[in-house]
Homo-oligomer: A and B are copies of this chain.
């Protein structure tokens, strides 16, 4: 990792190493606060700015990307070899990942119609998960009588 960063022109530091390691341990959909908390468990001198900046760095070197589920909190998702989209449950806030390899392929083809060069694809579906499905109907019904 140190070498990987060096070739990209960045230096390695103890804080950076801890932050990177902690991020990959957390794995998915990591917010700055979450990562900060995890990092502080091992070293409570690391600053918030440092965590934030390194999270951006992880993105810049292509190891993660931003995922925004609409709750106002920026989360960072490690980049996987297989592209995935997100199913976001509006009720329990669960975030399910699903394979979008084929769909990305089709989208990539579609963008060529616009002479557009894609860099990344975001496919996010909001709705209701298996468990929250029933209560969805109730909510809709309530909204009616509400009005």
- Name A residues whose Cβ lies closer than 8 Å to a Cβ of B: 7-10, 53, 60, 66, 68, 70, 85, 87, 89-90, 96, 98, 103, 106-107, 110-111, 113-130, 133, 136, 143-144, 146-147
Contact = CB atoms under 8 A, between A and B. Distances in A.
A130 B147 contact: no
**Count of this chain's copies in the oligomeric assembly:** 2
A127 B122 contact: no
B115 A125 contact: no
A9 B66 CA distance: 38
Judged by DSSP, the binding face of A is: mixed
Contact of A96 (B85, B116, B124): B116
A146 B116 contact: no
